[in-house]
Amino acid sequence: MAQKSTPKKLKLPKVLILLSVIFLSCASLIFVNFFTIKILSANRAYVNGESHYSKGQKDAARHLISYICNEDPSQWNSFKKELGVPQADGFVRIHLQRNSETDTIKKYLRAGRNHEDDLDDMIWLFKNFNQILFFKKAIDEWEKGDALVNQFHAIGEKIHTQVQLGNLNETSRIQFLSQINDISEKLTVNSRNFSATLGEGTREIKNYLIYTNIFFILIIICSVTLYYGVTMKKLMKSKQVIETKNSDLIIANKELDRFVYSASHDLRSPISSLKGLVEILKTEDDPEEVKSYLEMMQSVLNKQDQFIKDIIDYSRNKRTKDVLKNLSLLEIVDDAIEQLQYAENVDKISFEKKLLVDKTYNESLRLKIVVNNLLSNAIKYADFSKEKPFIFIKTYASADNIIIEIEDNGIGISKQYLHRIFEMFFVTNKNKGTGLGLYIVKEVVENLNGTIAVESKINVGTKFIVTIPLQHKA
């Protein structure tokens, strides 16, 4: 049964998400602080400009009063010069509202005695925030002030005309002084309102900046804390994995040392036996004895062949990568029986099959190793003193698993050895086993994400129960 591949959603690692949050929060914090400082700087420039506006108007009033009293032409010129400051600021407002050329606006801003470094920020603030409540109120006050400055200019022109005509008398002087005083008082109130409005806006912006900074700083602190936690968790997990791998490596090295020692011993032992038998054969003339020695040699070679096959199976299980495909358990069982048909006394054994489950999506090589080894083991330890030696192979499903049972009525395994039969090189009969077969079977089954159990009684028989997933996940 082939597995259907389903598209997986792209899932970003937690660390990457946290780093993105930290980066965006820092960028937002920098962005907010930059533009807030820019707004506050422009606001300060307008307050500073208002002071020049107010000073220009007051100096103009002082010069105009002196002009009324002594009719000195230099005072008139000073009046026009000082009044030009608030008038220039009035032209700035008009051109800003008309969205005129920047150079034109800057020309009037300079005439209003504003600092060169503040010009761009002042223009930027007006164009982008002229509809904001506090700034809109300030512009209204500005417009009222410009109207008063125009009135002040008109009074100055009247005074200058009368001085030129020689018609300025004491009564008109008193009237003009009263008008100048009245306009000056209104301009003072207007100036205060303008500054107060901008000051209120500055305080609001400052509060917003504080709250925004606190908000983003808290996000950054929380994100950094979480990032630290996730990183530490990963480091601890990596440490545990490394410790586990080191532990596994130590076990594997010990197992390898044991394997090399036992394998070299088991490989050399048959060679020594064969050498001894060859030496005996050299001096033996009796054909029957020669035949007996040859059979002994064949037995030794068979055992050696089985040992080499076990080593090959062990190596394959360790090195083979998962190759999943649709398999037939019936074919695997039949192939295993066919391969074992020339084993000693196999013709005396009856093979019985009851395969209730046949198809599986699994690993062919590892399943063959399991079935071959268990069948070979059952043949090896068959009890030929019984009337009908048999091996019964059964498969059936349980939940999402396949159960493979291989049962025989052989010599059985003593209860005291049952817990050790899956150990490397453990044998109950040195003449029949190599001690690798069942060890390999257990390792292979575990690689298939399965389990293996055994039930056995002396002189009754043995049953191996293998449980593996119906669809093996690599």
Is 92 among the domain residues? yes
Is 263 among the domain residues? no
In terms of domains, do 223 and 324 share one? no
Q: What is the pTM of this model?
A: 0.48
Mean pLDDT of 59-68: 90
Mean pLDDT of 325-344: 84
In terms of domains, do 359 and 460 share one? yes
In terms of domains, do 214 and 326 share one? no
In terms of domains, do 215 and 328 share one? no
Q: What are phi and psi of 75, to 5 degrees?
A: -70, -35
Domain boundary among 184, 215, 230: 230
Q: What is the pLDDT of residues 361-402, one digit of tens each?
A: 888 778 888 888 898 888 888 988 898 999 999 999 888 889
In terms of domains, do 37 and 156 share one? yes
User: Distance (Å, rounded) from C-alpha 446 to C-alpha 85?
Assistant: 92
pLDDT of residue 421: 84
Is 33 among the domain residues? yes
- Asked if residues 56 and 41 have their Cβ atoms less than 8 Å apart, the reply is no
In terms of domains, do 207 and 326 share one? no
Is 203 among the domain residues? yes
Domain boundary among 210, 230, 250: 230
Is 304 among the domain residues? no
In terms of domains, do 324 and 219 share one? no
User: Distance (Å, rounded) from C-alpha 28 to C-alpha 32?
Assistant: 6
In terms of domains, do 73 and 222 share one? yes
In terms of domains, do 222 and 331 share one? no
CATH of the domain at 432: 3.30.565.10
Range of the domain at 446: 320-469
pLDDT of residue 390: 93
User: Distance (Å, rounded) from C-alpha 156 to C-alpha 145?
Assistant: 16
Is 179 among the domain residues? yes
Domain boundary among 178, 195, 230: 230
pLDDT at 33 > cutoff 50: yes
* Better-predicted residue by pLDDT, 5 or 222: 222
pLDDT at 7 > cutoff 70: no
Residue 259 C-alpha from the chain's centroid: 42
In terms of domains, do 213 and 353 share one? no
Q: Which of 99-108, 368-377, 422-431 has the lowest mean pLDDT?
A: 422-431
Is 426 among the domain residues? yes
How many domains, in total, are found in the chain? 2
Is 40 among the domain residues? yes
Angle between helices 14-70 and 73-97 (to 10 degrees): 150
